[in-house]
Structure 1
Amino acid sequence: MEKISPLSIQIHFRETLPHLHYTKFLTVPMKRLVKANKVKKVTLDCSQFFLDKETIYEKSRVSNNELPYFAPIFDVPQQYIVVDGNKRIMAKLKNGQRTFTGYAFTPQQVIESFFFELDGWFYRLLAEMSVFSKMIFFKIPYSEIKKLSIINFQNN
C-alpha cells in the first residue's frame, strides 16, 4: 500500500462552491492513470479552467515543466478545475503564458480520486444536475441525455 503524503492532497472549490469550502483530491490514483497512458492530453486557454485565486506565486515553479491535471467541473463558467499544478500555472501566468497543456481526466476518473466518498457523490450530483438542466432548458430528448450522464443506466 502506497503511503499518501499531505502534498498529494489538493484543495479546491473555495470560490466555485463556497458552501463546500474544500474538496480534496488524491493525486496518487491520478498519477497511476497518467503513467498507464489512460488520460488524454489537452491544451487549454486560461479562461477554460478555474485556478484558485489564493494560489501563492512561487517564481521557482516557472521552470517546472510537469503537466497539470485538469478535472471537468459543472455549472460554473470554466470547463475544468486544476487538480494538480496550481502553483506551476500561477507562476507561468505571471510570466505571460496563456495556454497550458495538461492531462484532462474523465468524470469517472475524477470520482475515483476524491479523498472523501461524499465529495464523489456531490460531484456526481453536480454532473447530473447539469445534464438534466440542459435537457429541460434546451429540450434535449431523454434518450440523448442518457448518453451524457455519468450514472450507469444499464439496469434501467
Structure 2
Amino acid sequence: MNDKYSPNLDAMLNERYYLKSIEAKGARIKYIPTYLGQEFSNYKKCIKDTIASNVLTINGEVFTQEFFIDEYNYYFINWCIPTAKKLILENELKPVKIDFKGIIDQVRRNEIDQNYLPIALKNEQPIIIAYYPMCPQPSVVIDGNHRVLAKYDAGEKTINTFDLPPHIHLQAMTSELDRLLYKIHHNLSCIAESIAGNLPAKDVKRKLFTIG
C-alpha cells in the first residue's frame, strides 16, 4: 500500500517548479517567502527519512486514494477502515444526511462490483467521508462507494454519512508516511495561497503543520 509513493513529488519540492505550477493554475506571483527553499529541503529530508523507517499499522480493510498536487505530481493516502470506525465511536460522532453532489463523481465505477450493488442498496450503515480541504472535491468517500452508487442510481436524494475532519481521519491513516504527505500537501496549498496574495503572509505560519 504505502509502497505507492511517487518520487515525482520530489520535483514539486523545487522553488522554481513550485512557482511555475502556481502560475499554471492562473494565479499571479505576488510574494515569495524567504523560507521557501529551506522549507522544501526539510520536506524532502522528512520524506526520505520517513520512507526509510515507515511502519504500517493495518488491521483489516484499507482504502487507498490518489491525490494530485499538480498535473504531474501525486501521492497516495491509505486509511484503515476499522480504525476509522473505532475513532467514530471514540469521538461519539453522529451521522448526518448529505446529498450526492461532490461525492458521486469520485466513485470509481470501473472498480465497482456490479453484483454487490443490490446488497449495498439495502445497507443503511452510514458511509464514511474524510474531509480533504486541499482538493477540488474535498469529501473523499473512504468507506461506502458501493452504497453511494447503488443509492444514487436508485434515485435516492441523500445518504447517511460520518464526515471525519482532518484531526480525526489523520489518525486512521495507515502510517506516518501517509500523515506526512497529507501535512506537506496542506502546507504547500497554504503557502501557494499566500504567494498568490489570497492569504496574508502573517497568517501562513499559523496555518502550517510543523514538519520535522
1:51 is aligned to 2:51: no
Instruction: Decide which of 65, 69, 75 is 1:12's aligned counterpart.
Output: 65
Cα distance per residue 1:24-75 (max 9 Å; x no partner): 2111221112112343544433232333333414221001011111112244
**Partners of 2:191 and 2:207 in 1: CA distance:** 9
TM-score when normalising by structure 2: 0.57
Q: Which residue is 1:132 aligned to?
A: 191
**Partners of 1:21 and 1:141 in 2: CA distance:** 28
Shift in Å, 1:109? 1.8
CA distance 1:22–1:146, shift in 2 (3 Å): closer
**Partners of 2:160 and 2:203 in 1: CA distance:** 30
CA distance 1:127–1:102, shift in 2 (3 Å): same
**1:1-156 equivalence runs, <5 A:** 4-5=59-60, 8-13=61-66, 16-17=67-68, 22-39=76-93, 41-49=95-103, 50-56=106-112, 57=114, 58-146=117-205, 148-149=207-208, 151-152=209-210
List gaps (5 residues or longer) in structure 1.
none
Shift in Å, 1:114? 1.4
Q: Which amino acid counterpart does residue 51 of structure 1 have in structure 2? A: V
**Partners of 2:75 and 2:198 in 1: CA distance:** 33
- Between the aligned residues of both structures, percent identity stands at 20
**Partners of 1:115 and 1:41 in 2: CA distance:** 23
RMSD: 2.8
**Partners of 2:163 and 2:149 in 1: CA distance:** 18
**Partners of 1:104 and 1:152 in 2: CA distance:** 25
TM-score when normalising by structure 1: 0.75
Q: Between Structure 1 and Structure 2, how many residues are aligned? A: 146
